[in-house]
Amino acid sequence: MSALKRPIQPMPPDIAALLDARKLRAAYDARPPYQRNDWLAWIGRAKREETRTSRIDSMLSELEQGHGYMGMAWKPRE
């Protein structure tokens, strides 16, 4: 059971494949559940494919950098 109060978003297969291909799955899994869920919901709300692609690229970039969350400052706890 999840502590999230929002609906849990399923992982789309294409995003899972990108996380694995770019070796970012561990970085994604290390993020708090609310961040993972919010990213997937934000990506899923895109109406145009260009917007969806841009949002996926943003998420992947933040994961590669190791900080940031949907354009906001965030850093992992030490």
**14-57 pLDDT per residue, tens:** 999 999 999 999 999 999 999 999 999 999 999 999 999 999 99
Q: What 8-state DSSP symbol labels residue 45?
A: T
User: What is the spatial distance between Cα 75 and Cα 51, in angstroms, rounded to a whole number?
Assistant: 25
30: in domain: yes
Give the count of domains, the chain: 1
| Confidence at residue 33, expressed as pLDDT on a 0 to 100 scale | 92
| Confidence at residue 67, expressed as pLDDT on a 0 to 100 scale | 82
72: in domain: no
- pLDDT tier at 78 (50, 70, 90 boundaries)? low
Q: ∠18-63-45 over CA atoms, to 5°?
A: 65
The whole domain housing 42 covers 13-65
Q: ∠62-64-67 over CA atoms, to 5°?
A: 45
38: in domain: yes
User: What is the spatial distance between Cα 72 and Cα 10, in angstroms, rounded to a whole number?
Assistant: 23
